[in-house]
Amino acid sequence: MKKIVSVALCGMMAAGLVAVPAMAEDLPILGAGIYSSTDNFNSYIGKAIVKASEGKFKVNIDDGQLDQSTQLNQIDTAIAKGAKAIAVSVVDTTAAPAIIQKVQDAGNIPVIFFNKEITDKNVVNSYDNLYQVTSTGGDYGATIEGEMIAKYWKAHPEADKNGDGKIQFIDLMGDPGHTASQPRADYVKKAIEDAGIELDVLEEDTGMWDTAKAKEKMDAWISKYGDEIEFINCANDAMALGALQSIEAAGFNEKGAESEKYIPVIGIDALPEALEKIRSGEMMGSVLQDASTQGTLIVEIAQNLINGKEPLDGTGFKFDTDGSKAVRVPYKPVTVENVDEAAATYEGNAVSTEVETEAQ
């Protein structure tokens, strides 16, 4: 038995050795890693990096599997393979110094952190060849989400079902271990309150970014409150879809915004399915985090740095002025009015055209 295992292992290693040189071309290697393929948006940036790397870099996206030590090993491997630059979405933002140490030791190669921002300025400034590509602000799109809710509320007086002037509010938060979870919950409420609207939070709990978990939470809540609920806010679309599934089973939103019993549902990410639900009116809106632009930007920065140019040369973007060395790609509100525009993100060659329009 032992023999079989060792033979199998040797075989696998040999296959690995053969596979690597087989891909070898003259293109430089970009060592790229996402923190987990279970995060849709994160892996979507990974996809965008691959797409944008065509003809520029040889790239393979490593999956950090939510485990920092796995990710550090992957970075070691990428460097050992001769990566000219590293682009990574860290599992744990406090592990950034360890990664910086590795790229320094590898001859000061550039490192680009994406999606999860390194917020410690000392760390960011400890290495010159470090840049970040993230989405706008530390609010992870939640301010726009809150503004959309406030705008809807003001435009639809009938949404205040009990006429008390407050929004009876359900909040499905993300995984509490994820950097975006708490800010999303806080900023959405702040934006609504800043618009002069009072909130009455009926329930707030984590749905772990997960459709099935969100649905199960919502099953209990819709049975408890029914039509008392005036707004369902979800920290991502996966949960919004679960919540929608749940309330539709209870007879809400089935016929879109014209339904007899209707509760506006909003999420973040603009997933394809959410876009369909927005189009049909079952969902009120979502927020698009622009993965394709971010992926393209990461590749362009890496290429500029390798060629000794200014990092943002020719990209049309600017660094944020807060000293974070981060480019912040803006979020976009998505409602039934501009749903087609958002859907374009998912069409075949959206990556290149997207960048041109962004750059103007």
Q: Which is nearer to another protein, 151 or 332 (CB)?
A: 332
Part of the chain binding another protein (CB under 8 A), chosen from 83-91, 124-132, 243-251, 255-263: 243-251
Q: Which of 249, 260, 310, 357 binds another protein (CB under 8 A)?
A: 249
Q: Which of 121, 154, 156, 224 binds another protein (CB under 8 A)?
A: 224
Q: Which of 27, 47, 227, 336 binds another protein (CB under 8 A)?
A: 47
Q: Which of 120, 219, 227, 358 binds another protein (CB under 8 A)?
A: 219
In the DSSP assignment, the letter for residue 61 is E
Rounded CA separation 209/176 (Å): 10
**Beta-bridge partner residues of 287:** 333
Q: Which of 1, 19, 22, 155 binds another protein (CB under 8 A)?
A: 1
Rounded CA separation 300/293 (Å): 10
Part of the chain binding another protein (CB under 8 A), chosen from 15-23, 43-51, 131-139, 145-153: 43-51
Q: At what angle do helices 237-249 and 272-279 cross, to 10 degrees?
A: 50
Range 204-220 burial, b when 16+ CB lie within 10 A, else e: eebbbbbbebbbebbbe
The tokens describing 256, both together, are 């879109």
Q: Which of 117, 171, 210, 282 binds another protein (CB under 8 A)?
A: 210
Part of the chain binding another protein (CB under 8 A), chosen from 106-114, 192-200, 211-219, 305-313: 211-219
* Residue 218: CB minimum distance to another protein, A: 9
Q: Which of 242, 264, 285, 311 binds another protein (CB under 8 A)?
A: 242
> Under rule CB under 8 A, which residues in 166-205 are in contact with another protein?
203, 205
Part of the chain binding another protein (CB under 8 A), chosen from 9-17, 33-41, 132-140, 186-194: 33-41
Residue with tokens 């290149």: 352
* Residue 81: CB minimum distance to another protein, A: 21
* Residue 271: CB minimum distance to another protein, A: 6
> Under rule CB under 8 A, which residues in 266-325 are in contact with another protein?
271-273, 275-276
Q: Which of 29, 32, 43, 127 binds another protein (CB under 8 A)?
A: 43
Rounded CA separation 24/46 (Å): 21
Q: Which of 130, 268, 343, 355 binds another protein (CB under 8 A)?
A: 343
Q: Is 208 in the site for another protein (CB under 8 A)?
A: yes
Q: Which is nearer to another protein, 91 or 238 (CB)?
A: 238
The tokens describing 70, both together, are 């796995």
Contact 103, 78 (CB under 8 A): no
Q: Which is nearer to another protein, 322 or 347 (CB)?
A: 347
Q: Which is nearer to another protein, 97 or 256 (CB)?
A: 256
Part of the chain binding another protein (CB under 8 A), chosen from 104-112, 127-135, 207-215, 318-326: 207-215
* Residue 183: CB minimum distance to another protein, A: 19
Give me the residues that bind another protein (CB under 8 A), please. 1, 37-38, 40, 43-44, 47, 203, 205-206, 208, 210-212, 215-217, 219-221, 223-224, 238, 241-242, 245, 248-250, 271-273, 275-276, 343, 346, 348
